[in-house]
Amino acid sequence: MGLVSYVSVHNHTHFSNLRLLDCIIKPTDLIDRAHELGLSGIAITDHESLSAHIEAIQHYKKKYINTDFKLILGNEIYLVDERGMGGKYPHFLLLAKNAEGHKALRELSSIAWSNSYFDRGLERVPVTKSELLGITKKFPNTLIATTACIGGELAQDILRLNWLEDRNMLLVNEEEIQKYKKKIFDFIEFLKECFGDDLYLEIAPNTSDEQRTVNNRMVSISKYFDIPMLFATDSHYLNKEDRYIHKAFLNSKGGEREVDDFYSSAYMMSEDEVWEYLSGDFSRQEFLEMIAVSKSILNKIEFYDLYNPQVIPTIQVPQIKLQNQIDNKYTYLTKMLSDSNIQNNNWVSTCLNKLKEKNLFNDIYLQRLDDESKELWEISEKLQITMTSYYNTMAKIIDIVWNEGDSLVGVARGSATGFLSCYLLGITQLDPLKWNLPHWRHLTSTRPEFPKQILGNS
């Protein structure tokens, strides 16, 4: 095995079990095993599922973010001409090059699941070729594609073509042969339109007759269309020794699924193990070229994080004139008033004016409002958001519900009743000081977080 080996582009985790028992690998174990084997990178490509990606990114950031080892996020989709009952659901592999590519994966997956239906006792989640083409036009140069495993359209057409050619030795069937050759040609041309230079032909290290037929035919297709070829293990279990555990898992809910051919080599392999499978059909030079092709993908992959800071819905608010000046001893009220952020200024000015209006403009209430200002100010700094915008927005929603929505809003809800500012903004209708309610039950900078929903029953 080389110091840095191939990139494993086709692998599953237990999130592939959403619709059918399929895999016994945890995302974290998959990543660790690939790194342990000395691979250059690992792709997660579950069956129409992106559910492993958050866990995978968190694990990668914790252990491998500062290494040359790369994580790739993808999806194994079901690509069809048209949705319909009784048809086949060929596999196809997509890898996101960057954050925009992952957005493309999410949009395509949403299309698949929103159009799901049951066929032959199983929920089906295909996408059509026209939908895939539309996504690649909308998100150009953001996705890498491979023709996937033996369950893919290209591999199935190769097997059919091979059967027809063998049969032609006994029975002339040239028209059918030409039909499948054209079908393969049209499919490749469609994929080139979608992915351009980001298209790869996939073979697998498996010694079954069908897989070897596909592998050998893929060589000529690669040369004819000038499309690079790589190998992929299509991992469903971690080690060779886990094969019978995986088989038992697949058959654990009744029935008898045939796994010996398709899954016999569907595990994470070292470079040497892959070579042991492929050496009967490929030269050492061809094998090394496929490794180089897989590693070239890394130059196209950017690391991106799916984490995004929470966003507070923000409405436009006016500058409000303060009716009464306050003493500088109220540190955070003063900060809010002098701050250039219009949300802070609007919030504090509204609250202070309401104190005056309710004849509560005294030291006790001003100090309580200053305490709440401190919590909001410090949480805003810690979370890098403007907390007052939440309350300004919520006050507007409450106002709409009361005055325009022909609805009722409860006098209060939960810990928000403890915030004097909620009372002053009309979000709640109970004075927390009158009822001796502590403000910190609602929010405190010692646990910086967004407030829970504070809208009462309507």
In tens, the pLDDT along 137-188 reads 999 999 999 999 999 999 999 999 999 888 765 566 788 899 999 999 999 9
Q: What is the pTM of this model?
A: 0.78
Q: Tell whether the torsion through CA atoms of 364, 368, 370 and 374 is positive or negative.
A: positive
Q: Residue 159: what are its φ and ψ, rounded to 5°?
A: -65, -40
CA–CA separation, 236 and 267 (whole Å)? 6
Give the pLDDT band of residue 257 (cuts 50, 70, 90): low
CA–CA separation, 371 and 366 (whole Å)? 9
CA–CA separation, 41 and 71 (whole Å)? 6
Question: Span 347-363, mean pLDDT?
Answer: 97
Give the pLDDT band of residue 416 (cuts 50, 70, 90): very high
Per-residue model confidence (pLDDT) at position 409: 67
Q: Where are the alpha helices (DSSP H) in 66-173?
A: 99-114, 129-138, 153-167
Question: Span 24-49, mean pLDDT?
Answer: 98
Please state the domain extents for the chain: 5-300, 331-441
Q: Is 80 helix (H, G, I), strand (E, B) or coil?
A: strand
Give the pLDDT band of residue 2 (cuts 50, 70, 90): very low
The answer, yes or no, to whether residue 83 has pLDDT greater than 50, is: yes
Q: Residues 194, 86, 234, 48: what is their CA dihedral angle, to the nearest 10 degrees? A: 60
| Residues 90 and 151: beta-carbon distance below 8 Å | yes
CA–CA separation, 28 and 345 (whole Å)? 47
- Say which CATH topology domain 5-300 has: TIM Barrel (3.20.20)
Per-residue model confidence (pLDDT) at position 110: 98
The answer, yes or no, to whether residue 1 has pLDDT greater than 60, is: no
| Residues 34 and 71: beta-carbon distance below 8 Å | no
The answer, yes or no, to whether residue 254 has pLDDT greater than 80, is: no
* % of the chain surpassing 70 pLDDT: 94
